[in-house]
């Protein structure tokens, strides 16, 4: 905290309230930066966002895998829940099988308004999931920026997902 001169005080805001407010502002700032990159550089900008996000997801996966070892679909799903909880996301796990885990989020924490920005950003989650377990896929089956009422972040076994045609763009 910033040390103030004697006799000067600022309102003390509870840590939880301060964290929530600051996080929300940072997430909106990220969205605005992404949109500015896309507006200025078009597809090249989206490619840059996706590339940086993918690298970050792989870095996280490498650290987690070194610490945790092999992870099945449920362990990867619970790790994603930790990621979403860190973003203060609300939602719930709506499916929990050995082939599929679905995390429903009713509100985008960023909040993205463009599907292509969401797709570029979530290449982080794709890389994270693949890095934690190459036998899994990560897709967004419902997407608020596409007009859906909620987002469905889905982990699925690669073999069981081959017969599904889900547009993740």
**DSSP secondary structure letter of residue 144:** G
pLDDT digits (tens, 9 = 90+) for 49-96: 999 999 999 999 999 999 999 899 999 999 999 999 988 889 999 999
Tokens of 145: 């920026």
pLDDT digits (tens, 9 = 90+) for 110-151: 899 999 999 999 999 999 999 999 999 999 999 999 999 999
Pairwise CA distance, residues 49 & 71, whole Å: 27
Q: Domain 15-161 carries which CATH code?
A: 3.30.1380.20
Pairwise CA distance, residues 153 & 141, whole Å: 7
Residue 122 has a pLDDT of 95
Pairwise CA distance, residues 67 & 61, whole Å: 10
């Amino acid at each position: 905290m910033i040390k103030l001169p004697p006799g000067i005080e600022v309102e003390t805001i509870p840590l939880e309230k301060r964290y929530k407010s600051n996080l929300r502002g940072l997430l909106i700032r990220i969205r605005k930066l992404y949109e500015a990159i896309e507006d200025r550089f078009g597809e090249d900008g989206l490619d840059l966002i996706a590339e940086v996000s993918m690298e970050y997801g792989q870095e996280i996966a490498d650290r987690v895998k070194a610490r945790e070892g092999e992870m099945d679909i449920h362990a990867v799903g619970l790790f994603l829940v930790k990621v979403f909880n860190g973003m203060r996301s609300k939602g719930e796990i709506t499916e929990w099988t050995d082939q599929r885990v679905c995390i429903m989020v009713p509100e985008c924490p960023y909040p993205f308004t463009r599907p292509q920005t969401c797709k570029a950003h979530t290449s982080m989650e794709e890389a994270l999931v693949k890095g934690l377990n190459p036998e899994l896929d990560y897709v967004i089956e419902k997407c608020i920026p596409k007009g859906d009422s909620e987002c469905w972040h889905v982990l699925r076994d690669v073999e069981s997902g081959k017969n599904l045609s889900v547009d993740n763009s």
